Amino acid sequence: MTFTHTLRRLFYCLLILATLSGRVVACLNDRDTLANEANRYPNVLQTITGRFERNPPLYYQMRIQRITAELKSNPSVLSDYDDIGVACDRTGLDDEAIGWMDRKLTLLGKAGANTPDLKEQWYRYYANTGTFWMHRWARAGAQQANVDQVKRARDLIQHAVDIKPDAHFGREKYQLKVMNWIIDSPEERLSDYLQRDEDVRHLPYARKMEPVTALCGLVALGSAWESVDIFDAIAAMLYRTSSWDRSRLAYLADLRCRELIDEGRGSMRVGSGTGVALKQELSLAGKTDPDSGDLGDYHRLRSESDQWQKRRTDFMTVRMTAGRHPDTDSTFWSGYHDDGPPHLSNPWDEAIYLVLGKPFGIEFLLFWFIAYTTLLIVAWLAVRRWYRRRARS
């Protein structure tokens, strides 16, 4: 085996290890939340480009119909209230979603607030109800005159955090911060508000990426996929790590922010502009130094994710129209195939991006231990090869 082949094999070993590392975990809580956590969430790059599962309205409409009938015959199944509440929220039925949580509260009240076995159910009640009130306020126009609804949502989410402070890698903690921004400092840019009290430049990797991980959870499991403010905050938080590779990811998040503005989305910041003016307010242009291939990679990955989402939705729609649903049909996904997201144009970028944005743990440490060890071996092989050539000459 030649020296070049050795280097190439070592490089692809690193790439495979990067792929095997843990993914980002994620503000709704239902059976889909648990399933997604078990399967792991998309990493930062996939979150930015939209390569995560989103179900069509019919999926939730069928769930609402089924659970409504089930609760009539057996109203004591507490988890059903979360499922139907989230399904109503996903289809824009805000008052109905809150109403189902009120029914769950009645059952929980009868059981008692301090029943140990019901801790998870109380957590879900507060987390879901707070999220439903927040979504209700946002969908009704996000008016500051109705900010009392956000305060109510914040208080409910705070109860959820008190019960499970570290749930979902701190997702609710940052959901709280977003709510506090709306309540206390609506004229400030969200990214500035989230960074105001914490300098992460000298923090370890896990602490630097914690807010990015949490905000990606709001995108993958909440309703933040079309939020200008959330993607602006993700971009700013990636950029502030002062790392070359993460600044490139920041540029991609900034591209998603600009894409939303081009689609007519606005910011919840009081006094913000629209269109080109909003882009100038939020853009990281001039701060990031992206590779020339980043823009092309972004558009290619976004196009692929939209096509993938359409194929998945079309597959689901055919079966659901025939009366089948993943909740009740164990063979629903038979015949569905996904090759996974496409690779970046640069294999080294692929390895870097796959590692970024993951929860800190033994897999991350193992990857970098092997990476540094491999580099030392490569250097030793290069030096030995040089000495042998010199000896022969």
Mark 79-107 as b/e (b = at least 16 C-beta within 10 Å): bbbbbbbbbbbbbebbebbbebbeebeeb
pLDDT exceeds cutoff 90 at 245: no
Whether residue 392 sits in one domain with residue 261: no
Cβ atoms of 156 and 133 closer than 8 Å: yes
Whether residue 28 sits in one domain with residue 18: no
pLDDT exceeds cutoff 80 at 261: yes
pLDDT exceeds cutoff 90 at 106: yes
Whether residue 188 sits in one domain with residue 271: yes
Whether residue 4 sits in one domain with residue 74: no
Could you report the per-residue pLDDT of 269-299, keeping only the tens digit for each? 988 889 989 988 887 654 555 555 678 888 9
How far apart are alpha carbons 222 and 235 in whole angstroms?
A: 18
How far apart are alpha carbons 278 and 283 in whole angstroms?
A: 8
Whether residue 229 sits in one domain with residue 173: yes
Could you report the per-residue pLDDT of 189-243, keeping only the tens digit for each? 998 898 876 665 556 555 667 788 888 888 987 779 999 999 999 998 888 765 5
Whether residue 309 sits in one domain with residue 257: yes
Q: What pTM, to 2 d.p., does this model score?
A: 0.77
In 228-358, where does DSSP find H-type helix?
228-239, 244-262, 275-282, 294-321, 347-355
pLDDT over 90, % of the chain: 44
pLDDT exceeds cutoff 60 at 35: no
Could you write out the DSSP letters of every residue in 72-84?
A: HH-TT-HHHHHHH
Whether residue 142 sits in one domain with residue 10: no
Closest to 206 measured CA to CA, from 55, 75, 365, 386:
365
Whether residue 136 sits in one domain with residue 3: no
The one-letter amino acid code at 227 reads S
Whether residue 42 sits in one domain with residue 12: no
Number of domains in the chain: 2
Whether residue 349 sits in one domain with residue 371: no
| Average pLDDT of every residue of the chain | 80
Whether residue 286 sits in one domain with residue 318: yes
Whether residue 97 sits in one domain with residue 9: no
Q: Which domain holds residue 76?
A: 23-358
